[in-house]
Structure 1
């Protein structure tokens, strides 16, 4: 019987790449995201597996509950949740950071991951066989920030705490949780990196990027482990990007 995954932010970038990689391995994948058109496009690119398009706003409790209900109704269980949906705020000085922008980043990046994790626990604890795996998309900003990224960086640090608490609380129910911290994957959202991004010394410099398929391969490895084993934290990044030694 095929394993079942939910991928949030599945309409583009890392979420799309991971969804397609899972489908190629004959997983059944629920494609979650705010824009139906992009989710349908992801589904149309699939080679293998079964997909279910489920428009979802991860920051909305009712929308998240509907996502997991649709998953249970269609596939009967859940083996993997990839908490991938995320957003950022305009890169401004802290004193100019709008509260609305802060709240939106927290709602999507942190509260959204919590709501999905809570719903996954409810389903994974009750299904037979019991258990499953949750993988959180952390970002290397969970370790070291870029300039003018206070909201994004704060939420990614918080994701590390969410990962640890989820891993601890899931032990009794065969629910494993790990985190993948990604640096400079080449997607539409990161096109500016190759052109030039702010550095800690105030300069603007281009940075190396890596193909997003490397991220998908890493997630596949984490997802493919038996529940008796877990990758607690993994960093996958462009080899020559200025992360180690940043600043």
Structure 2
């Protein structure tokens, strides 16, 4: 399997095997516009030609999907196979529905895969967990402090929009620079930074209100309460930094460490 590099900006003007193509996309010097160009091409071929290019798309996406699935299930005590399968299903469904003209294709593919996996995780947590001997039912232990779940719960509660959660997750947790976020035409960097700060402020306030008596085993509640107290003294800028630390990120946008979003 290969693509013609002459069809895309920045890539070598020759036939490129897909395993090399993946490495080129993961290179931190690869512009984001090239990601959209390549993914639009691969998805178009998958829709027209079917299974072979669909498998190719999955192969290209594995550096993005594998850590996503691992993060969703890292504190899940039961068999994670069904959740991992739902992550893949969400990605495959998005291959057929994502708007190729809208841009930010990899971000939207990842978000679709995440939502499918997260729904499966919540379903798994809602059911009783078998407990030997005798397989008596016991209450499932929630994955306290999981950064993706924090953002997902905030979306479900109406505290954040999906776009705001996506923005915080990608730029705070995955190390993508805010300047590299594919913002809509007419939206400046300064305005985008302001939107993110306001979203983080709402998130911090909501976490503090919902975790007024944090359990010792729940770092999410403890961190949120500490954050709210600190912000009353230090103001918005420290608040934004603490939110990033709370959900597992770094206000300095530390170098990424995985996936198409992380470019390693």
TM over 0.5: no
TM-score, length of structure 1 as denominator length: 0.32
What's the TM-score once normalised by structure 2's chain length? 0.31
Computing the radius of gyration from Cα coordinates, the structure with the larger value is 2
- In proportion to residue count, which structure has more strand? 1
